[in-house]
């Protein structure tokens, strides 16, 4: 069943804007959370959505925004070194309605069961980028790992959608997915961002994805 009211946390980002459009296309009532300085990025939707300005790890903002929502789409981002992604995830887990479908975004580097098989390039990138980002206090990949650990151990109706490398461009259709990175179906390692958003919104209605972490890739 299509959720009637959907909250999009991180609605002003590139992925978030596509999710707002997909959710409106499905006739959902949309509530978006985004940083105060980014509200203008949602201007083209302004008369059709409700906006809650604030940091996406602000528990009071999240508590208000998710009230009455049957679905919550969350862009998990590990900015800074103070547990931003973990704060976001925990607030959603704590305050979303008990019946709500909770869909979170992250990358292939997150593993649900340790059975993913990663290329040396991806392992090297995560190690080098992770070290550099933390050294510069720009981002903390361990924060996103901790956020997902909390989601994976919760008894909520969650799905963690793991994105491949992303590119802009017109939709190619609903991405393909697998439970594990390393599956030949994922060899292309590239997804249109608009289709990542489509998969997130589609997951709201797909109960077979409850408590799974699909790794996705473009369908072409």
Chain residues in the site for ligand NAP (CB under 6 A):
10, 12-16, 34-35, 38, 41, 75-77, 79, 105-107, 163, 165-166, 193
- Nearest approach in angstroms of CB 107 to ligand NAP is 4
Is residue 106 exposed (0-12), middle (13-18) or buried (19+ Cβ within 10 Å)? Answer: buried
Q: Which is nearer to ligand NAP, 1 or 136 (CB)?
A: 136
Tell me whether residue 70 or residue 140 sits nearer to ligand NAP (CB atom): 140
Nearer Cβ to ligand NAP (3/13): 13
Where is 84: in which H helix or E strand?
Answer: helix 84-95
- In the complex, minimum distance from the CB of residue 95 to ligand NAP, in angstroms, rounded to a whole number: 19
Q: What is the separation of C-alpha 86 from the centre of its chain, rounded to a whole number of angstroms?
A: 13
In whole angstroms, the minimum distance from the beta carbon of 175 to ligand NAP comes to 12
Give the integer Cα–Cα distance in Å for 140 and 134: 5
CB distance 122 to 109 below 8 Å:
yes
Q: Quote helix, strand, coil % in the chain, to nearest 5.
A: 40, 25, 40
Minimum distance from CB of 124 to ligand NAP (Å)?
16
Q: Supply the minimum distance, in Å, between the C-beta of residue 100 and ligand NAP.
A: 19
Q: Return the SS3 of 180.
A: coil
Measured from the CB atom, the residue of 14 and 150 that comes closer to ligand NAP is 14
Closer to ligand NAP by CB, 34 or 100: give it.
34
> How far is 127 from 87, CA to CA, in rounded Å?
23
Closest CB to ligand NAP: residue number: 13
For Cα atoms 19, 24, 29, give the angle at the middle one, nearest 5 degrees: 105
Residue 86, both tokens? 């973990």
Residue tagged 């992303």 (tokens): 166
Complex with ligand NAP: residue 14 or 59, whichever CB lies closer: 14
- Provide, rounded to whole angstroms, the least separation between the CB of residue 106 and ligand NAP: 5
């Amino acid at each position: 069943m299509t959720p009637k009211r959907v909250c999009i946390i991180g609605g002003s980002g590139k992925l978030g804007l596509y999710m707002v459009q997909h959710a409106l296309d499905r006739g959902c009532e949309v509530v978006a959370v985004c940083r105060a300085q980014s509200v203008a990025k949602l201007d083209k939707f302004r008369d059709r959505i409700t906006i809650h300005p604030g940091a996406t790890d602000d528990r009071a903002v999240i508590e208000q925004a998710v009230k009455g929502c049957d679905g919550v789409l969350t862009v998990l981002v590990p900015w800074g070194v103070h547990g931003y992604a973990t704060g976001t995830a925990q607030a959603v887990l704590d305050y979303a309605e008990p019946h709500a479908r909770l869909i979170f975004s992250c990358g292939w580097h997150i593993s649900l069961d340790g059975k993913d098989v990663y290329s040396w390039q991806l392992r090297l990138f995560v190690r080098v980028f992770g070290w550099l980002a933390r050294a510069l206090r720009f981002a903390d990949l361990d924060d996103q790992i901790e956020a997902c650990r909390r989601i994976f151990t919760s008894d909520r109706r969650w799905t963690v959608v793991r994105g491949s490398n992303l590119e802009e461009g017109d939709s190619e259709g609903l991405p393909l997915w697998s439970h594990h990175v390393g599956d030949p179906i994922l060899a292309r390692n590239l997804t249109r961002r608009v289709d990542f958003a489509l998969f997130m919104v589609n997951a709201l209605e797909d109960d077979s994805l409850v408590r799974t972490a699909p790794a996705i890739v473009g369908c072409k």
